[in-house]
Amino acid sequence: MTDPRRFAPAAARNRDPILAVLRGVLPARGVVLEVASGSGEHAIHFAAAMPALTFQPSDPDADARASIDAWAADAPNIRPALALDAAAPDWPITAADAVVCINMIHISPWASTEGLMRGASALLPEGAPLVLYGPYKREGAHTAPSNAAFDADLRTRNAAWGVRDLEAVAALAAANGFGPPGVAEMPANNLTVVFRRQVLAPGG
């Protein structure tokens, strides 16, 4: 029988630095929705490291979901992968205690980022985190020559893709009820960016 599991070399390289940040921002218990889970390697790694949390992976691609479920076959705290398109107006989940999205924003149209912010805002309780990982421009400039080259390659592959301006992502988050970003510098010129659903003031 063919093994449906996919292997992403980048996941093996970045999973531990991302996990170190997640340990400090995810709740002690609850459901963590991962949007665009890809191969599923991040979900299985994080779930093994944080057994008190329940992980809900998702991906719009059927082959990716098959890979995720194969990786997670023996994991007690990973739910079956959902067919979730971040850009869709309705998501197949009604609540979560945190949302994680790794390496999606630059490899998808801007509409997917808009949908991510809209969907996460609808799901998350006040104070809950939305955690993003990937390359970003800051104040309109790339943070490294390698990111500029990566951006050019992405736009050659699909004109709707590209490394996004962190300030534009933060403005979109704010428009959807999130506070200012917390930013952690990561290896390979990436960032982990944490937004929290804002707590409304009494009468607000």
Q: Predicted confidence band at 12 (pLDDT cuts at 50, 70, 90)? A: confident
pLDDT, tens digit (0-9, with 9 covering 90-100), for 95-110:
999 999 999 999 999 9
Q: How wide is the angle at C-alpha 46 spanned by C-alphas 41 and 47, nearest 5°?
A: 100
Q: Give residue 202's pLDDT.
A: 52
Handedness of CA 79, 183, 108, 197 (dihedral sign): positive
pLDDT, tens digit (0-9, with 9 covering 90-100), for 48-71:
999 999 999 999 999 999 999 999
CA distance linking residue 89 with residue 50, whole number of Å: 30
| Residue found under tokens 């607000």 | 204
Q: What percent of the chain has pLDDT over 70?
A: 97
* Architecture (CATH level 2) of domain 9-196: 3-Layer(aba) Sandwich (3.40)
Spell 146-171 as b/e; 16+ CB within 10 A means b.
ebeebbeebeeeeeebbbbebeebbe
CA distance linking residue 76 with residue 52, whole number of Å: 10
Given a contact cutoff of 8 angstroms between Cβ atoms, the answer to whether 84 and 56 are in contact is no
Number of H helices, E strands in the chain: 6, 8
What is the value of pTM for the model shown? 0.95
pLDDT, tens digit (0-9, with 9 covering 90-100), for 147-176:
999 999 999 999 999 999 999 999 999 999
Q: Which residue has the higher pLDDT, 101 or 1?
A: 101
CA distance linking residue 32 with residue 99, whole number of Å: 6
